[in-house]
Structure 1
Amino acid sequence: MFCIKHDILIPNFDEPYSNSGRSRRKIVDHTVLHHFRVEVFYKIIDWQLQELNDRFNEVTSDLFHGVACLNPVNSFSSFDIGKIMRMAKLYPDDFDQFSMGVLQNQLANYIIDVRDTNKRFSDLGGLGELSRKLIETKKNLTYPLIFRLVKFALLLPVATATVERAFSAMKYIKNDLGNRMDDEFLDGCIVPYVEKKVFRTISNESIIKTFQDMKPRRVQL
């Protein structure tokens, strides 16, 4: 279809492949189909996988897999207790050794309850709908540790975006002219830059008055 649309000669995939950059006297031992499938398509897929592996480490992958397994889409088709447990291990302050054992038992009962028994959890569209349904049915009290993981999964995009915005702001604030500022002064500059919408609602007079009242000053601003 692509070749027909752009008036490109459609190759015969059963013919021996001939590389214009090599000597034609060299015997070709594979077909055109093999060239496009193995040397082009598979190679590009390998490059993309390598880029993904370089960008997302093991911890990030475990986190994303855990979030995907909590997703109720297609009647919890992605549910996997092992991957969810690996996600929970990334939050040691919230899941100690005892809680991990309780969580595993809750997950075993939870999937039977919401997928096989309770029809109110069918056809949910995402984690947001799942969290609302858990509260409506009081299942958040029955499975408190699972509900905690669902909340973490919902907060993750917001927390990640906030961190990304903070790092982007640092590029503008801590430049070559201001690279010697200490951490406290840097924090004071980044917060107004990142939270622009909040600080637009604060008048300059209020800021000046707060600054003036922090300690006695020689000059009245």
Structure 2
Amino acid sequence: MSIDTQIGNRSNTCTTRKRKLTKLVEHRWIDKHVSVLTFKQFYPAVVILLEFMMENGDAETSGNARAYLKCIADTDFIIPLFVVSKIFDITKPYSEVLQDKKCGELVIRPSIKCVVDTYLDLIQCYDNIENIGTYLTKLKYDKAKLDELQNDLEQFSHDNDVELKISRTSKHKTVELYLRHIYETFIQTTLDQLSYRFSEHQKILAKIMNLIPVYVVDRTVDDIKELVEFYKDDLSSDDNSVIYAEFHIWKNKWEKIIVEERPTNINETLIELVHCRSFFPNLNQLFELFAVLPVTVATAERSFSTMKLIKNCLRNSNDDDRLSSLALIHIHQQYTKELNVEDVVNEFCKDKRRIKFTND
């Protein structure tokens, strides 16, 4: 039986549509998820391939294949692989959403000159992150889930002829204790990272709800002090008393309006501010800040990735203007398709150059 047939037979149980392993990219969350989950699904095929290379490769290939096979068949590799895959199964959809280009996408209404829809996505994302944190906390102490994971691990080791054993130098006496330690540690690490990345921002973000007209009538100055302090450098006034005065006038304005007609989100609030933003400059700035606040830095990271592609070792002498222009063209390719090439060439030919492109 050929190696392709063996791998194909062992890979038929895979639920993934992929036909090759995914490269692990350190700087992208979703690529980490996909690479680990794909490797776990292709584990039987990887073992067969390494065994084939051991028997049919040259001395160097055979030695490397033997070393890799020993590593992936080790208990210190199998158990973390299972634990990480278990958690990544849960967090993968969230990483896909957070790194999607449409996450927190700015939508500009033709009728008003302001961005209006980002805030809703931001709130929803933070709510979902809070939900996943709560679920992972419960999962950490769920013995039934741990037992289920242990049974899956035993079945996996049996199907792939992997012997799970603890080394004599390990502080964990049994496989079960080692699995539990890795399981609880990785979940806690994930929770700590989620808290570090999102919780503080969510706490500040929630304060903006106190300024929404439907809620502001029941709020006091104490409810916005932390928000004002956090963004004081971005506001037009450095005098808190002025900002608090705006808050009182804003509150008084909506106390006279019936509940049904009060704006309930950033979208409606910014529309209402179009004609009176001059009277509430600081509050308007706060609303606009939250309207354009991105959910993640994925878009900025894509810009850096683009820069690395453009400014490589062969094109390292690009000046800032040329680099920025090329980056914009690469990032916003959908708009470049609408450009008239003839007009671009004509503008290019008008520049003063040593080589004359026209007779003008």
Which TM-score tier does this pair reach, normalised by the shorter chain?
0.5 to 0.7
Q: Which residue of 2 aligns with 1:88?
A: 231
Indicate which of 262, 285, 301 corresponds to 1:121: 262
Distance in 2 between residues matched to 1:90 and 1:49, nearest whole Å: 31
Distance in 1 between residues matched to 2:298 and 2:219, nearest whole Å: 25
Task: Indicate how the Cα distance of structure 1 residues 162 and 40 shifts in structure 2: closer, same or farther if over 3 A, else same.
Answer: closer
2:50 aligned with 1:50, yes or no? no
Show the 5 A alignment for 1:89-168: 89-91=232-234, 94-98=235-239, 100-111=240-251, 113-114=253-254, 119=259, 120-121=261-262, 124=264, 126-135=265-274, 140-157=277-294, 163-168=300-305
SS in 2 for 1:97: coil
1:177 is displaced (CA, Å) by 3.2
Residues 33-76 of structure 1: per-residue CA shift (max 9 Å, x gap): xxx8x9966x55642343246557xxx946x5444322339836
Q: Which residue of 2 aligns with 1:68?
A: 206
Q: Amino acid of the residue matched to residue 206 of structure 2?
A: A
Gaps of 5+ in 2: 1-141, 149-164, 167-171, 175-179
Aligned-residue identity in percent: 21
Count, aligned residues? 188
Asked if the contact 1:68/1:78 (under 8 Å) is kept, the reply is: no
Q: Amino acid of the residue matched to residue 131 of structure 1?
A: L
Q: Which residue of 1 aligns with 2:348?
A: 211
Using CA pairs below 8 Å that are at least 6 residues apart, which structure has the higher relative contact order? 2
Distance in 2 between residues matched to 1:3 and 1:53, nearest whole Å: 24
Distance in 1 between residues matched to 2:219 and 2:335, nearest whole Å: 39
Q: Amino acid of the residue matched to residue 110 of structure 1?
A: W
1:83 is displaced (CA, Å) by 2.4
Q: Name the Cα RMSD after superposition.
A: 4.6
Q: Amino acid of the residue matched to residue 195 of structure 1?
A: H
Q: Which residue of 1 aligns with 2:308?
A: 171
1:196 is displaced (CA, Å) by 1.9
Distance in 1 between residues matched to 2:249 and 2:326, nearest whole Å: 49
Distance in 1 between residues matched to 2:336 and 2:215, nearest whole Å: 44
Residues 66-106 of structure 1: per-residue CA shift (max 9 Å, x gap): 44322339836999312221232242xx43423x4311322
Q: Amino acid of the residue matched to residue 127 of structure 1?
A: I
Q: Which residue of 1 aligns with 2:338?
A: 201
Given the two structures, how large is their TM-score scaled by the length of structure 1? 0.60
1:209 is displaced (CA, Å) by 0.4
Task: Indicate how the Cα distance of structure 1 residues 110 and 67 shifts in structure 2: closer, same or farther if over 3 A, else same.
Answer: farther
Asked if the contact 2:310/2:327 (under 8 Å) is kept, the reply is: yes
Asked if the contact 2:213/2:254 (under 8 Å) is kept, the reply is: no
Distance in 2 between residues matched to 1:173 and 1:61, nearest whole Å: 36
Q: Amino acid of the residue matched to residue 272 of structure 2?
A: K
Distance in 1 between residues matched to 2:312 and 2:262, nearest whole Å: 51
SS in 1 for 2:215: helix
